[in-house]
Structure 1
Amino acid sequence: MERTLHGFIPLVRFYHIPSDVFFYKVLPYRKLLPKQLVYEITEYNMKDNLYYNFENIPYNFNLLYRASREGMDTKQFRNNCNNKGATIVITQVKGTNQIIGGYNPLVWDSSNSTKATTDSFIFSFADKKDINTAIIGRVKNTNSAIFCAGTLGPAFGPGADLYCTSGKQWKCSSQNHYYSINLPFRTFFAEDYEVFQVIKKQSIG
């Protein structure tokens, strides 16, 4: 985890993060950040009226679906993941060391509709053992960042930015809704994929 996240640290605009977001969403992972950076940002973001217990992580990650366990089936994905709130999807590309995935801060459902958000993103590790191959594609068409359809698995954008067409087959043939993560193929098959529910704890401290 630490080795992976270190590659993203230079890309994050820490000084532009609102104080409350910094304290509740960044500092819980302070052990992953350079000590001097943590010191400087904490001093910059310090608020007299904000209390935070550093020993608590404000989110839990609950495994909702593992394709190799529940079955490579979009219906089973819907049964396990619909209406469960924010989720992270992680996909292992068959026959490679590549990891592809995305974050949906909303809900999956079977409404056959698009959903608007500014907070979703997709990502790729061309080699899961090499942090230097990591790329994040942030959403650029926020009005239709997430696509929910009863016949599909996870779908980021209503085009083919990144979505699961069946249990094993995925497509990623456009960059209409997310910035490119430089994938060398339009269609790939998943060795396995997992979906984690992101749950904010009821209280901090």
Structure 2
Amino acid sequence: MTTKFFDRLSNDLTQLLEDPTDYNVTIEIGEAPNNQIFKVHSYILQSRSPYFKNKFNETPFNDDHIKVLTMPNSNISIGMFNVIIKYIYGGTISLEKLENSTIFDLVIASNELELDELVEYLQTYLVNNHASWLGLKFTQIYRTSYQVKNLEIIRDFYNDIIAKYPNTIFESENFHSLPEDALISILKHDDLQLEEGKIWEYLIKWGKVKNSALPTNFDKWTSDNFLTLKETLKGCLPHIRYFSFSNEDVVEKLFPYQQILEPKLFHDINSKIIIPNKQIASIVLPPRNILKLPIRNTRIPLLSSLITSEHELEISSWIDKKETPYIENNPYEFQLLVRGSRDGFDVKTIYNICDKVANTVIILKVEGTGEILGGYNPLEWENNNLLKKTQDSLIFSLKTANQKNSILSRVVRNFDCAIYNYPKNSDLSFDVALCLIGNLKTEKRCYCMVSASYLKPIRSDKFISKFSRFSIVSKEASFSVEECEVFKILPN
């Protein structure tokens, strides 16, 4: 039996980095006067990184028996290199205090230094913990995933989203700049949720944009024009499911472009229309597995700029009244209905968009404090003034960089007053425990009070008003929001 003392080994090597006895390499990161010199040991770095092994072989010792390595053209910052060098020496990394954008930059830097283990870990971390942020950065990072090798985990994450929600890319203004290998990867998906005729239309448009000299008037196309388009699409054409086209699409969409298809293939397509059971020589790819997703699913399920996947799991566990939070396999999908910066911040806007919609979660980022507050309403919001009774609503304050733990407060009494549904007064509230009034961004009329209905306050004492709904709310207790979002909670 072999016993492994990795913790002590990691600590000892990290100490060697902090007190670099007998170092024989210096690495300069950045440019003077804002540069930093790292004193390191060649044997450790070259055993951990093929990149450094090659660099050290190319770099001679100076008169002091030190190899001097500079990285002036690298995109690796001093902060990033600090994280990476600690990983190289001690095999440890801490990401909790890092911005998502910094973590992604670390992926690129680690890839440059050929640290495959770290590249895989960081990608997995982002996909599992910050899928919503990846969704917001869709176009930028998706393109990068094809420009930089070894980003398969992030690339597959995006391709799975595209397969389920194809409009995220096909209707994007950046679709025509999509690299060919990215487009081919999408076309290979058996579960791409688009009819084949529509896929063909997008493919033709993509090919035309790649050849701006092609005539805009299709009637003026020559054989050379079709040959140019065929050459551009040659890598994509084998992945189209030609025998899944409707007869109407064959006539209206394929027939005009028959010159870019092999004659035998086009003959077989027509033969299948006339004699469906006829044996043909062309390869017949299986039809795509179209799930008949409702229209609401044309967007990425969670595109929040306020909450993470971890928050999403926590809220879902509260809705299901679980003692411990879900850590994976969320039973719910969070469908974005309202975003203040997109749809407007007035409470009446929420009522208009969410009229007759039940099972919603409202998320707010408080101006000035960065708090993330919210509430869950299992009942329908309605464009009628009324109190609504429920025993299942809840409000909360989520864990953030400035708040160590989330706070949950369920409705526990006075259930008849659990929900204030008052659109005419621009009032949307959970009793007095969380009150949203007017324009959430400009009016600063929102507040939290001690409530007879909800178990406990979700803000600290200095931000809580202790009087009734009809009392004057203190300046400290009133707040506006930086952003607000409303999600419909759907079974996954």
Q: How would you bin the TM-score normalised by the shorter chain?
A: 0.5 to 0.7
| Post-superposition offset of 1:122 | 0.3
User: Which of 404, 425, 434 is the aligned partner of 1:132?
Assistant: 404
User: Which of 156, 162, 165 is the aligned partner of 2:434?
Assistant: 162
Cα deviation digits, residues 125-160 of structure 1 (max 9, x gap): 3x6225633110110222221110112253111xx2
Distance of aligned partners of 1:163 and 1:6 in 2 relative to their CA distance in 1, 3 Å threshold? closer
Q: Distance in 2 between matches of 1:74 and 1:96?
A: 21
CA contact (8 A) 2:375 2:430 kept: yes
Higher strand share: 1
1:26-41 to structure 2, matched below 5 A, reads 29=326, 32=327
| Post-superposition offset of 1:171 | 1.5
Secondary structure of the residue aligned to 1:171 is coil
Secondary structure of the residue aligned to 2:408 is strand
2:354 corresponds to 1:81: yes
Distance of aligned partners of 1:7 and 1:74 in 2 relative to their CA distance in 1, 3 Å threshold? closer
1:6-85 to structure 2, matched below 5 A, reads 12-13=322-323, 29=326, 32=327, 58-85=331-358
User: 5+ residue gaps in structure 1?
Assistant: 15-25, 34-54
Cα deviation digits, residues 30-64 of structure 1 (max 9, x gap): xx17xxxxxxxxxxxxxxxxxxxxx7x55332111
Aligned to 1:95: 368
**Between Structure 1 and Structure 2, how many residues are aligned?**
160
Amino acid aligned to 1:180? K
Q: Distance in 1 between matches of 2:453 and 2:381?
A: 17
Cα deviation digits, residues 46-89 of structure 1 (max 9, x gap): xxxxxxxxx7x553321111111111212211111121111001
CA contact (8 A) 2:316 2:332 kept: no
Amino acid aligned to 1:165? I
Distance of aligned partners of 1:3 and 1:62 in 2 relative to their CA distance in 1, 3 Å threshold? closer
Amino acid aligned to 2:332? Y
Secondary structure of the residue aligned to 1:78 is helix
Q: Distance in 2 between matches of 1:155 and 1:190?
A: 15
User: Which of 372, 383, 393 is the aligned partner of 1:110?
Assistant: 383
CA contact (8 A) 2:408 2:458 kept: no
Secondary structure of the residue aligned to 1:132 is coil
Aligned to 1:177: 453
Aligned to 2:265: none
Sequence identity (%): 32
Q: Distance in 2 between matches of 1:7 and 1:148?
A: 22
Amino acid aligned to 2:429? A
| Post-superposition offset of 1:8 | 10
Distance of aligned partners of 1:118 and 1:91 in 2 relative to their CA distance in 1, 3 Å threshold? same
Q: Distance in 2 between matches of 1:6 and 1:198?
A: 13
TM-score normalised to structure 2 length: 0.30
The alignment's C-alpha RMSD in Å is 2.8
CA contact (8 A) 1:7 1:131 kept: no
| Post-superposition offset of 1:110 | 2.5
CA contact (8 A) 2:333 2:491 kept: yes
Deviant stretches of 4+, over 2 Å: 1-9, 11-14, 57-60, 129-133, 151-154
CA contact (8 A) 1:139 1:179 kept: yes
Distance of aligned partners of 1:178 and 1:153 in 2 relative to their CA distance in 1, 3 Å threshold? same
Aligned to 2:488: 197
| Post-superposition offset of 1:6 | 7.0
Secondary structure of the residue aligned to 1:92 is strand
Secondary structure of the residue aligned to 1:170 is coil
Distance of aligned partners of 1:132 and 1:2 in 2 relative to their CA distance in 1, 3 Å threshold? farther
Q: Distance in 2 between matches of 1:96 and 1:194?
A: 17
Distance of aligned partners of 1:73 and 1:6 in 2 relative to their CA distance in 1, 3 Å threshold? closer
Secondary structure of the residue aligned to 2:404 is helix
Q: Distance in 2 between matches of 1:86 and 1:182?
A: 21
| Post-superposition offset of 1:190 | 0.8
Secondary structure of the residue aligned to 2:380 is coil
Higher helix share: 2
Distance of aligned partners of 1:12 and 1:109 in 2 relative to their CA distance in 1, 3 Å threshold? same
Q: Greater Rg, structure 1 or structure 2? A: 2
Secondary structure of the residue aligned to 2:485 is strand
Q: Distance in 2 between matches of 1:8 and 1:64?
A: 17
Distance of aligned partners of 1:120 and 1:6 in 2 relative to their CA distance in 1, 3 Å threshold? closer
